Amino acid sequence: ATPTALLVGTGRGAQLGILIKGPEVLESTRTVDTVVLDKTGTVTTGQMSLVEVVGDADALRLAAAVEAASEHPVARAVVAGHPGPLPAVEDFMNAAGSGVTGTVEGHRVRVGRTGAEPVPADLAAAVAEAEEAGRTAVLVVVDGAVRAVLVVADTVRPTSAAAIAALRDLGLAPVLLTGDSAGAAAAVARQVGLDPDAGEVVSGVLPAGKVDVVARLQEQGRVVAMVGDGVNDAAALARADLGLAMGTGTDVAIEAGDVTLVRADLSAAADAVRLSRRTLATIK
Ligand code: ADP
Ligand code: MG
């Protein structure tokens, strides 16, 4: 490959809002056959909002107090959903990919995904209904008892479905990867044309597990591109044959990626693959 053509391709990428770390990245893009897509903040905007509180109304106040110390999109939605002053929190703990815990007004409060605590039937029904609608449901647990369900809604980026279709047209097999529940992941998948029954969705993955999913695909002989935005995507972005970070993403994700998608739009991922193929075609 002549460096000149690759440099031209890199410059053309910059015009398209595709920032490529080095000209050699265009070459590794050529053989990619699988694209792993993070859900929250990548396929969706990641700007979540609280849409419903089911159960004890005061649980929202306690939950917002604990979530105030977290940067997670779910946490931001919960805090924004509670206007007014918040009580102080002691012994805050963040369990990546699962939730937060803290002591508020003498009570131990946990906010996060379903855990060991038994969930009352009415609250379990609320969780199931929310997830069926593609929403994220988190529990508020006070002194070991599940007191409320907070329903948080995200928005699928308007360009995601067309971009995933374009990636398929380019011969790439898409896989949605998320720490969220199977139900919420499946609902989002269907909205963007992915089939959960065809193995196109991997859900309930802890932050440390995302890199293992990429590694497993590579062991199967796949050449993997990964698109992500979060702290929990950084290792997977670094491990992937081609790491694409959303421009709106965290600094660690952008540092770990080979490419930054300035437009924060999945269609830029398809543009990057097309650009690479065209650039290399001019060299051949
Ligand atoms: P994703 O892969 O979709 O970006 P994460 O791995 O960050 O998701 O989180 C997985 C799940 O863990 C969330 O869907 C949520 O149920 C729960 N969770 C993580 N952090 C928090 C938090 N700060 N508050 C409540 N729930 C959380
Ligand atoms: Mg994300």
Instruction: State ipTM.
Output: 0.93
pLDDT for 261: 95
CATH number for 3-45+156-283 (one of 3.40.50.360, 3.30.70.1150, 3.40.50.1000, 3.40.47.10): it is 3.40.50.1000
How far away, in angstroms, is 99 Cα from ligand 1 center? Answer: 6
- Going by alpha carbons, the residue nearest to atom 20 of ligand 1 is 99
CA distance 136 to 130: 7
pLDDT for 284: 61
Looking at the chain, which residues constitute the CATH 3.40.50.1000 domain(s)?
3-45+156-283
Please state the pTM of the whole predicted model: 0.87
DSSP string, 83-145: -S----EEEEEEETTTEEEEEETTEEEEEES--SS---HHHHHHHHHHHHTT-EEEEEEETTE
Strands ordered across the beta sheet of 224-228: 18-20, 259-261, 242-246, 224-228, 34-38, 173-177, 201-202
Three-class secondary structure of residue 25 per DSSP? helix
Pocket of ligand 1 (CB under 6 A): 38-40, 67, 70, 72, 74-75, 97-100, 111-113, 136, 138, 178-180, 207, 230, 232
Kindly indicate the confidence band of residue 1, based on its pLDDT and cuts at 50, 70 and 90: low
Nearest to 36 by CA among 242, 186, 256, 221: 242
- Write down how long the chain is: 284
CA distance 119 to 279: 55
Calculate the average pLDDT of the chain.
Answer: 93
pLDDT for 102: 98
Which residues have C-beta within 8 Å of that of residue 221, sequence separation ≥ 6? none
Q: Known catalytic residues?
A: 38
Lowest-confidence pick of 12-16, 153-157, 180-184, 212-216: 12-16
How far away, in angstroms, is 248 Cα from ligand 2 center? Answer: 10
Which of the residue ranges 21-25, 35-39, 112-116, 262-266 has the most confident prediction, judged by mean pLDDT? Answer: 35-39
Do residues 90 and 103 make contact, with C-beta atoms less than 8 angstroms apart? yes
Q: What is the mean pLDDT of residues 166-190?
A: 95
- For 116-147, what is each residue's pLDDT tens digit? 999 999 999 999 999 999 899 999 999 999 99
Asked if CATH classification 3.40.1110.10 holds for the domain at 49-153, the reply, yes or no, is yes
